Chains A and B, each alone.
Chain A
């Protein structure tokens, strides 16, 4: 990678500053068009009929009454979907079988969760569509629901997918071989990583901590419900407008589900109202296309909040057993982790990424990790910010806190003694290149938060760390030089958290311009080369790399033009902070602006382009974070109040610090919600009871203190700008940090999420109960 002009390590001109984002004005004035804001002449409105049962056979569906309802233009059911051969597709960080994906978009002969789509209607208004849903008669045959991994893994558990057979996966790229007897099961897959000698490790340990943890199903909680507007042209060409994290993903998945050729579909990404991994797959898009085909009119589908909670893609609830062995000096000699992830109705939970990031921050010789992908009668899970890693970190980081207590060592000190560094083997992959984990722990250790005195009753401070490997995947970019010397940067990466600004800054840095002379454009799937999903914290890294290369491609051409003007060789032309120069007489220095106005004369317009595959998932980036939280527990109610929270995270290189801090604060806040109040409550019939944001309690600004951020910059050696990707790891540490803080505050070890007031109060009373008995026993 050619080193940046004029900037040795660190002193960039634009990178690191905090310009106003280019799409800011549209967003603050309400002009920005999100998915639901689009409307087309002659458009119809779609609604989905969803199963009221968690597990049932569909014996028959009668839609004739609905079809005759005035204003109804089309009705579709599972029968309208072609039977297409399933193929494994990359969806965000998860790998999904498209056959199961199709069954999730519309049930066929069986419904597998409360809210599973059964039919869909398109009508001239939303209200008519809703009336039509009531006229659809579905005859269900109820089956016993299987709601938790535990139940599903029992040998006699009711079977969800008769044709499912369990697979054993030995390493990251192993497609898996059949495991266990050839009979129906709910365990879709089992991955295992092993290193060193477990027995010897535990034997040499002075202390052993062995615990069991449970986490609940939680939702990404994006404020914008899913939406899709499709136009099916009689010649078979389709245009889809939707809010999505991956417009190319939507095209590939919709094409494979509907048995169409991908080239027939053009996806236009709207502004997106939050995703966090939940909008890397498809729910409404294929339905909108089919309804538009049947009605010959554009069709728009939107979800209500309860549909989002019942039937999109929360992340897995889990059951995890951790066994750690450590010496008196705090050196971890062995670790054994057993994890079961609830995949929901179809296989494809983050059991593999969870396993691959477990205990990532620590250098442990003897390690055995088993992780299971278990189907249950819950909505099929989707990615949620570092999918799989937060649950395993909750277990491991609280167990680690117990080890530190037993060794009488400061928890941060314990982490430093076992910290991963360059050369440490990853749980399932090549040894780490240069990483910044130690720096994040030291940053917390030296932070004024950690050094401050925490006084007062029922108060405690907890720390925890987290690891996420980040993604690389593919991106494309073009850079157009305009005749007035300004440039436009065109990419396919949807901008959720201000990445447009980062792209503009990278191009401005390379071409020596101010960032306001650069216009970043996010365009549709026809107008730019293939670009993978906005997920895996990869945009600044991979699309940033494509923009960096495209800007250099443009710079190379501009140097040729300058050379032509001065009748010199391109190699003789230098470019430094925005000015082209060459030795010799008639080479008066030229700014980019001056050169741009002479492009016509020197051969025509200049466009730079670059396409990049930024290494397989996990080969690049590797982000670490450490969090410190102070809490106060109300002994009467069990309510936990967050007093102070600080996060140190290694960003490699912060392109736009404000938005890097934004990702750190956002992830931490979601972690605190996961820790304290968010959970899916199902009744015994498998029906979701908290289907509104009143009962699915996400943190408000009243629940949180200001979140202090420390941006650690240990440049990523394999990226020209040192970028690592910051979008996800900040959600991994908070749950364990809060649990550890609660223990310091009231001496209770919480091992189940969320640590809501009723659960905490139960544990407090049990603890008082025992102490009362002890006192009583001591007394008598």
Chain B
């Protein structure tokens, strides 16, 4: 029985029931976006730019439109022009004209793969043939591929209209935003520091790597209403953004979320949805658009590559005194990289008196970045966590002890914002320190162990939930949060806990945007936190009404009725305790059916911390790094369904290791992506990884009824730095570039050997 924050033991929460949608998924019946078919459905394909940076002088589509079987061809002219300013879409602020131009290029293509036109035809093969008949006249411009090039004063300008506060209103620039965070006086701090380490880090652009490509089926009705079936992390986001891009009233669009084959933040925006509706409007048929793997890699939303200069100083006894960081993130074709989050998380786990952080959001001729699991935090941690490892080494202090000494706790000021409330960072480091892994001896040549920590804010936002009681005492929970990693099971468990029911008597149901109140995106590790809260309150609403009905039956006042572990009771004689099953059978007589509802805009969000230790062995001849062992400790507040909490911790660690060792976007000098397949965009297979050990730390979030803390994202932050530190301890080279692929590690090893030989020669002569 897992102990709960408010003392009483939980009956369902903390157990590991089989998820309710499991059967459909293991028998292949579950319907993902691409599995939907409709009578008379057409297939859509998109023509994509072969250039990284070019002006579209003209597009001729008549030949394509004439091909038998082709029903419609659209370009950007078919989409309404939108104002070039920041607008509010739900809880997000977006520049709608940039969003629209990213979905379909308007007079300029800005990255290899940028959508230029789309075709709908009776078969996917005919649609592909039609694409080849579209003639586009490009005027090729020099591509700007890195932040360094883009920030040069004479760099080619991607977006003529872009301005930033620094350079004023009349200077075109590629720097969209400059953020600065300051505390204390860094120069003073560095003066007092005994040890100072400064290095420049470069991390490559990487992709979320979800196995299911994007998809959308749009059905446009002659009365102006449209229905969209798609795999998305936020059906309400798809509705409000598609409405803006299509210039339709939001209420005319209904989004039906299909099962989703992975997202990790990459499916929180829109690519195909508006185009499928537009093609359906033109043809009068449902239109299905799916992306190939190459399209996913070239033209969806990877996370930023970055350049980070990080300088940190500490006293002899290991006290961190100052940190000065310069960071520039690739935003991709349009402004909006996660550099702000990177800046606010880079030293978040630590208490550093003097701080100066400058963060730049820079547009380059690469696909517009989207969120990828704690966006911006992993690249930042690669810099700060490796320098902290060097400082600990210089002070001769164990990396865990160094982190415990400087670790943030309740009251520590954050980089930006109020001091921390009750958090569990120190507990995660201690959990690693006392883990069997960390205590075990690591012998053998070229082997090393690295430790690193990570932080993520998590987010609350809005959720709605409805709980219906059926006449046989079972219940159904209706929510709008898409279930990627088993959150349906968590919602059913929360309702079962409150209602005193067996978890298999509760059926969770994810429904469309018309059948449930507004619910924000499944992202920001918020679903268990915010939607779970709404389900908790809705279930309490049901208990309240059931108490009224019991009171009516016993002719007592509702306040006199109490409810505990599934039984309604009241004092006085002749009161036979009733289960929900018995009471449910008598609802008709006592006033009719019962359904509870709750809506929340969740407050008091608890940030999440994780610390990871990884053992590696480096092959000195090839530079290949083999992961021997990995353990991750994470503060989850309260684990509702431990198997899926472990799943999130293991999944994030695996992605972090892929990010560390071999995943990168490889562009040639003309700005064309060369590794557009999973053979060359090398993600970890089960042969590359050991079993990933997890220790769940439960420091409850004050203010949440169940103490829940989001778990979905933070586990991806530590691994790149942990692997780098392990390599340093294994073969004595400090890697400062991601990925630490065999060629790069080998180069570092060879240059170390030549330097050593040169010194020996100098010393010897």
Contacts and interface: CB of A to CB of B under 8 A. Distances in A.
Touch between chains A and B, by CB atoms below 8 Å: yes
Given A483-B240, A517-B251, A605-B462, A262 B515 contact: no
Contacts of B597: 478, 607, 609
A455 to B, nearest CB: 48
Given A233-B23, A483-B90, A530-B587, A611 B599 contact: no
B468 A603 contact: no
Interface string A256-300: 000001110010000000000000000000000000000000000
Interface stretch (A207-215, A519-527, A710-718): A519-527
Contacts of A485: 251
A529 B594 contact: yes
A237 B509 CA distance: 13
Interface string A584-598: 000000000000000
B98 interface: no
B223 interface: yes
Contact of B505 (A263, A478, A483): A263
Interface in B448-478: 462-464, 466, 468-474, 476, 478
Interface stretch (B55-63, B161-169, B516-524, B752-760): B516-524
A32 to B, nearest CB: 11
A25 B221 contact: yes
Nearest to A596: B518
A189 interface: no
Contacts of B75: none
Given A25-B223, A484-B251, A607-B597, A613 B591 contact: yes
B466 A530 contact: no
A672 to B, nearest CB: 35
A252 B471 contact: yes
Contact of A26 (B221, B236, B588): B221
A611 B514 contact: no
B601 A483 contact: no
A486 B224 CA distance: 15
A293 to B, nearest CB: 14
A526 B594 contact: no
B592 A600 contact: no
A606 B517 CA distance: 7
B90 A523 contact: no
Nearest to A473: B588
Nearest to A248: B471
A124 B649 CA distance: 45
A528 interface: yes
Interface in A580-637: 599-600, 603-607, 609, 611-613
A268 to B, nearest CB: 11
B723 interface: no
Contacts of B7: none
Contacts of B511: 523, 527
Nearest to A42: B29
B514 A488 contact: yes
B69 interface: no
Which interface residue of A235, A480, A528, A604 has the most chain B CB atoms within 10 A? A604
A595 to B, nearest CB: 14
A234 interface: yes
Nearest to B249: A484
A483 B464 contact: no
Contacts of B221: 25-26, 29, 31
B341 to A, nearest CB: 21
Contact of B517 (A20, A235, A525, A607): A607
Contacts of B591: 611, 613
Contacts of A478: 466, 595, 597
A531 interface: yes
Contacts of A102: none
A604 B514 CA distance: 17
B515 A488 contact: yes
Contacts, number: 155
Interface in A224-273: 231, 233-235, 237, 252, 255, 261-263, 266
Interface string B497-541: 000000001010101011111110000000000000000000000
A714 B7 CA distance: 60
B194 interface: no
Given A474-B588, A613-B592, A607 B464 contact: yes
Nearest to B24: A233
A262 B471 contact: yes
Contacts of B588: 474, 530, 613
A526 B505 contact: no
A171 interface: no
A745 interface: no
Contact of B514 (A519, A530, A606, A612): A519
Contacts of B730: none
Nearest to A614: B592
B90 A605 contact: no
B478 A527 contact: yes
Nearest to A489: B514
Given A483-B240, A600-B601, A235 B462 contact: no
Contacts of B23: 233-235, 237
B593 interface: yes
A435 B470 CA distance: 36
B472 A486 contact: no
B107 interface: no
A482 interface: yes
A476 interface: yes
A89 to B, nearest CB: 11
Contacts of B505: 263
B308 to A, nearest CB: 34
Given A490-B515, A530-B587, A482 B250 contact: yes
B476 A605 contact: no
A383 B464 CA distance: 40
A527 B250 contact: no
Given A262-B471, A478-B466, A526-B478, A521 B514 contact: yes
Contacts of B429: none
A266 B593 contact: no
Contacts of A604: 462-464, 518, 599-601
Interface string B365-398: 0000000000000000000000000000000000
Nearest to B545: A611
Interface string B467-493: 011111110101000000000000000
B91 interface: yes
Interface in B582-611: 587-588, 591-595, 597, 599-601
B222 interface: yes
A526 B462 contact: no
A529 B475 CA distance: 10
Interface in A498-519: 517, 519
Nearest to A527: B478
B526 to A, nearest CB: 13
Contact of A599 (B516, B518, B519): B518
Nearest to B465: A607
Contacts of A523: 511, 515
Contacts of A605: 462-464, 517-519, 599
A237 B221 CA distance: 34
B488 to A, nearest CB: 13
Contacts of B223: 20, 24-25
Contacts of B222: 25, 29
A484 B462 CA distance: 15
Contacts of A29: 221-222
Nearest to A480: B517
A590 to B, nearest CB: 17
Which interface residue of B223, B518, B519 has the most chain A CB atoms within 10 A? B518
9 contacts: A234-B27, A235-B23, A474-B593, A480-B515, A486-B249, A525-B470, A531-B593, A604-B600, A605-B599
The 7 closest A-B pairs by CB, nearest first: A263-B474, A486-B251, A613-B592, A604-B601, A530-B593, A529-B595, A605-B518
Given A483-B236, A605-B518, A605-B519, 4 more contacts: A255-B472, A480-B518, A526-B478, A528-B595
